[in-house]
Structure 1
Amino acid sequence: MSEIAALPGDKIASIEEYETGYNTFDDGDMVRASTVGKTELDKEARVANIKHPKMISIPKVGDIIIGTVAAVMSSMIAVSIDYINGKPTTSKVECICSTRNLRKKNVALVNDIVTLKILNHLNGTIHATIEEPHLGVLFTKCRKCGKKVVQMRDAIKCTECSWIDERKLSTNYGNSDFVKLRE
């Protein structure tokens, strides 16, 4: 494998010699770089790739993500992705999750830690679901005083001010290693 520095748009190889791989595209005549990185020509598989030093982690359809709720709207939540299939990511890519079909007043609130499943990539937006039982809020605090909460069936209760709030809790709520790291 040969490694040469490449910039976006640089010619990497002829399409007769190599197929496009990671971070490359076919312009009809040549295989070109789509990002900054090192050229990697796999002579056995006949594939041209660009190895980027900091790969942006984009979840694929079916991946389970853990993230922090960044915004709450009337029928959806926006989540900043922190983990993809249990592996940490620093890309801070966001996804949206529809909450329209859930019969809860508050599915999740800003700064709640949630687990979601990626449904699709549509129009440059990553869409996720929270509707399966193992998906939902993994960690939250009281919305009134910010103290610790405990689970009461499908709701949470503050240990300090006794405020009771409704959330879409995951079946893994409170017993995940991820939650213990954040307390």
Structure 2
Amino acid sequence: MSENATYPGEKIASIEEYEAGYNAFDDGDMVRAATIGQKDIDKTTRTANINHPKNLSIPKVGDVVIGTVAAVMSSMIAVSIDYINGNPTTSKVECVCSTRNIRKRNIALVNDIAKLKILNHLNGTIHATIDESSLGILFTKCRKCGGKVVPMRDAIKCTECSWIDERKLSADFGKSDFVKLRE
């Protein structure tokens, strides 16, 4: 490989000199590579980028992502990102979303489809929020029988077993057109 070749996690530049660009992230001290590729330092825009032949999709701060809930913990959820700003991605990057300040028992369950907004990239982790009204769960099933659910104010109700459960629902909950389909 050439001298511009980088590996994931490798230091590219200092955050005092450059900002993280495509396929790069800020670890709080240094700009690091998020993927294997060629280092590209842009001195005019002061950004450090990694050019990858298959250009991975790493969401940027402010992007709206849609993904599948992979893990639910007491104060956060982990989401595998499937769409960035409505466009499909195959990189399967994960982000974490703090749920500590939301006053619901069940924010989400594993395999729910969630809509989040990217807050920042810290220590190689992508952090997101679910606090806005347009953000939240887009699709879920009954935790008891796996049946179809319908929204009831700030909860969901199963149409088969009548189980009522809390979720942090998106304003787009139940709409099937929440992503752009491939054309």
TM range (shorter): 0.7 to 0.9
Q: What letter corresponds to residue 95 of structure 2 in structure 1?
A: C
- Cα gap change, 1:120/1:159 in structure 2, threshold over 3 Å: closer, same or farther? same
Count residues in correspondence: 151
Percent identity for Structure 1 against Structure 2: 77
Superposition RMSD in Å: 2.9
SS at match of 2:117: strand
CA 1:157–1:120 in 2, change beyond 3 Å: closer, same or farther? same
* Residue number in structure 1 paired with 2:44: none
Superposed counterparts of 1:113-128, under 5 Å: 113-128=113-128
Per the normalisation by structure 2, the TM-score is 0.73
Deviation of 1:127 (Å): 0.4
Partner Cα distance (1:85, 1:98) in 2:
20
Which amino acid is the alignment partner of residue 3 of structure 2? G
What is residue 129 of structure 2 aligned with on the other side?
Answer: 129
Structure 1 residue aligned with 2:16: none
Structure 2 partner of 1:35? 36
Equivalent pair of 1:144/1:163 in contact (CA under 8 Å):
yes
1:27 is aligned to none
Match of 1:9 among 3, 6, 24: 3
Structure 1 residue 52, shift from structure 2 partner: 2.6
Structure 1 distance, partners of 2:148, 2:79, is 22
Which protein is bigger by CA-based radius of gyration? 1
| Matched AA of 2:121 | H
Q: CA deviation at 1:115?
A: 0.3
Contact 1:8–1:35 (8 Å) recurs in 2: no
Under a length normalisation based on structure 1, what TM-score does the superposition of the two structures give?
0.73
Gap change, CA 1:56 and 1:152, over 3 Å in 2: same
Q: CA deviation at 1:8?
A: 5.7
Higher relative contact order (CA 8 A, sep 6+): 2
What is the one-letter code of the residue matched to 1:9?
A: E
Matched ranges for 1:12-91 at <5 A: 35-36=36-37, 51-91=51-91
Quote how far apart the aligned CAs of 1:10 are: 4.3
- In the TM superposition, residue 55 of structure 1 has moved relative to its aligned partner by 1.3
Query: CA 1:174–1:35 in structure 2 vs 1: closer, same or farther (change >3 Å)?
Result: same
Gaps of 5+ in 1: 1-6, 12-20, 25-33, 41-48
Q: Counterpart of 1:177 in 2: which secondary structure?
A: coil
* Structure 2: tracts of 5 or more residues without a match: 6-20, 25-34, 41-48
Alignment of 1:95 onto 2:95: yes
Partner of 1:15: none
The residue type equivalent to 1:98 in the other structure is: S
Compute the displacement of 1:147 (Å). Answer: 1.1
